């Protein structure tokens, strides 16, 4: 059950384009991270111009105002799966949204089953409900 945050510059995409971006990310979560169907937790945040500062880390990338930052909080994926998700996101977002791969930043972080509550103040994983 990855929790995905997608950060973009406001007014660069329509609501439909944002949904296509989110759908493409979800498809990669299902295919590459083997997330269960209907296991979709995404937060899309639009920021005023100038409030996403994304330099190139010395790699020579030229970022545009179309930059997309994807943060994935997950558990149990190995390095090979993480590398696969980076590649798949770059490819899928280019195909479906036209995003230049230099405008994509992805960060994957891990947590444990004890770190989740899906509602009602319960720890469903720890209580054996999931």
Q: What pLDDT is stored for residue 56 in this prediction?
A: 86
Active site (catalytic) residues = 2
Q: What is the pTM of this model?
A: 0.94
CATH topology of domain 2-110: Macrophage Migration Inhibitory Factor (3.30.429)
The mean pLDDT of the chain is 95
Q: How deeply is 30 buried, as exposed, middle or buried, from its count of CB atoms within 10 A (0-12, 13-18, 19+)?
A: middle
Rg (CA), the chain: 16
What percent of the chain has pLDDT above 70? 100
Q: Using one digit for the tens of pLDDT, what is the confidence trace for 68-105?
A: 999 999 989 999 999 999 999 999 999 999 999 999 99
pLDDT at 1 over 80: no
């Amino acid at each position: 059950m990855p929790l995905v945050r997608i950060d973009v510059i406001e007014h660069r995409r329509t609501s439909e384009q944002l949904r296509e971006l989110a759908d493409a990310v979800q498809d990669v979560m299902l295919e590459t991270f083997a997330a269960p169907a209907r296991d979709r937790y995404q937060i899309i945040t639009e920021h005023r111009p100038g409030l996403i500062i994304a330099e190139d880390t010395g790699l020579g990338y030229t970022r545009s105002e179309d930059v997309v930052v994807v943060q994935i909080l997950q558990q149990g994926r190995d390095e090979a799966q993480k590398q696969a998700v980076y590649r798949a996101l770059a490819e899928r977002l280019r195909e479906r949204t036209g995003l230049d791969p230099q405008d994509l930043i992805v960060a994957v972080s891990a947590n444990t089953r004890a770190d989740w509550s899906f509602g009602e103040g319960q720890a469903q994983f720890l209580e054996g409900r999931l």
